[in-house]
Structure 1
C-alpha cells in the first residue's frame, strides 16, 4: 500500500494548530469589547484573573512569553483604561505590582465567555473527540514545557494533585484529582487551573 502524498501527520497537525491560533487571534480582535483591548491586553487581564494576587510585570512577561517593553506598554494602556492598578509590593516596598480593578475583574469575566463563533465551531466535536484533543494538547504542552520551549502552564499534567489512570476500571473517568478528591476523564483535563500546585 503506497503512502499518501504530502507532509507527515505531525506537520499537518502543526498547520492545523496554527490555523486555530489564527482563528483565536482574529476572534480576540473581534471580541475587543468596550475597552478596545488588543489580544495581548486581553491575555494580561485573563492572566491576572487566574489568581487574586498582585503580579510583577516580570511575572506577566514570563507567563505570556512576551518582552518587557511590550508588556510595559500594554500595562500602561490597561491602567489608563481603568482595568489595572499599581500597588506597592508587600515583600519589597520599592517594587510596584499590578492587579485588576473591579472594572478589570468584570472585563475578565466577559473575556472568559467563549464567543458564539468559537462555541459553534467546537460544537461539532463529540465528547470523545474533545477529550482526545484535550489529552493530546496537554501532552504536547507538557512536552514543550519540559524542553523549556514555552512558559509553564498551571495544568493537570504538572500538578501534584493529578493522579493519572488511578481508576482503570472506569474508562470515562480514569484519572483522580486529589484537590477535589474526585475521579475525572480526559474531557475534564485542565490546561490552566487556579488550584494548581506544582508536582515535586
Structure 2
C-alpha cells in the first residue's frame, strides 16, 4: 500500500511528508478564520472570498467565469454564491455593453461594510510571519512561490498571477528579472498576485 502523509510513522522519516502535513495545518487554520468571519455575516466562506476578491481586482476579473477559475470551483457553485450576495444587496451586477447576457460584479455600500468588518481575516497568520527574520520571510516566500508554480504546472491550481508565469519575468542562473519594472527581483520582491501580470505564451 502506498505511504500516506497522514501516517505519523511515515512523516517521521520523510521531510516532504512533514511539509505537506504542516501546510495542511496552516490551510485548516485559514479555514477556521474564514468560517468565523463568514458565520458572523451569515455567509459562506466562498462568499466572503468573493467579496474580498472583487474589492481588490479589476472589473474584468469580477465575472462568474473568472471567479470560477480563480477559486477552482464550478460556475454553478460561483453562480449560487453570487445569487445570495446579490439577494443580500452586497453586490450589484454591471451588464456588459458588448454581451447583454454577461455581467461583472461590484460591491455595494453594504458589501463594503462586510469587507471592512472582515479585513483582518488573515491577520493572525500575518502576525506570525512578522516574527520571522527578513531573511527567513524572503526564503519562505520563495519556497511557497515555487510550490504554487509547481501545482499550477500540474494543473491542480488554475489562474496564478505570479512572477513565474508572467511574460515580463526573466530568469537566469544568476538572477530573476522583471522587464516591466526594469529591475532585478530579490526573493522578497516575488509577487503572488500582481496587478500588472500578463500570462506568458
Q: Same fold (TM over 0.5)?
A: yes
What are the within-5 Å matches in structure 2 for residues 1-200 of structure 1?
Answer: 6-32=12-38, 35-54=41-60, 55-105=62-112, 107-108=114-115, 111-113=118-120, 115-164=122-171, 168=174, 174-200=175-201
SS of the equivalent of 2:85 reads helix
Give the alignment's Cα RMSD to 1 decimal: 2.7
Q: Is residue 88–residue 95 contact of structure 1 (8 Å, CA) maintained in 2?
A: yes
By how many angstroms is 1:190 displaced? 1.1
Runs of 5+ unmatched residues, structure 1:
169-173
Aligned length: 191
Distance 1:109 1:143, change over 3 A: farther
By how many angstroms is 1:58 displaced? 2.0
TM-score between the two structures when normalised by the length of structure 2: 0.80
C-alpha separation in 2, matches of 1:115 and 1:56? 24
Q: Deviations over 1:88-141 (max 9, x none)?
A: 222211233323335435654665546442233222311222112211111111
Q: Is residue 35–residue 81 contact of structure 1 (8 Å, CA) maintained in 2?
A: no
Range moving further from structure 2, 135-144 or 44-53: 44-53
Structure-1 residue corresponding to 2:6: none
C-alpha separation in 1, matches of 2:107 and 2:13? 45
By how many angstroms is 1:21 displaced? 0.4
The structure in which a higher percent of residues are helix is 2
Q: Deviations over 1:12-32 (max 9, x none)?
A: 111111100001111122334
Structure-2 residue corresponding to 1:171: none
Q: Is residue 50–residue 194 contact of structure 1 (8 Å, CA) maintained in 2?
A: no
Runs of 5+ unmatched residues, structure 2:
1-9
Q: Is residue 45–residue 108 contact of structure 1 (8 Å, CA) maintained in 2?
A: yes
Distance 1:178 1:86, change over 3 A: same
Q: Is residue 30–residue 122 contact of structure 2 (8 Å, CA) maintained in 1?
A: no
Q: Is residue 37–residue 121 contact of structure 2 (8 Å, CA) maintained in 1?
A: no
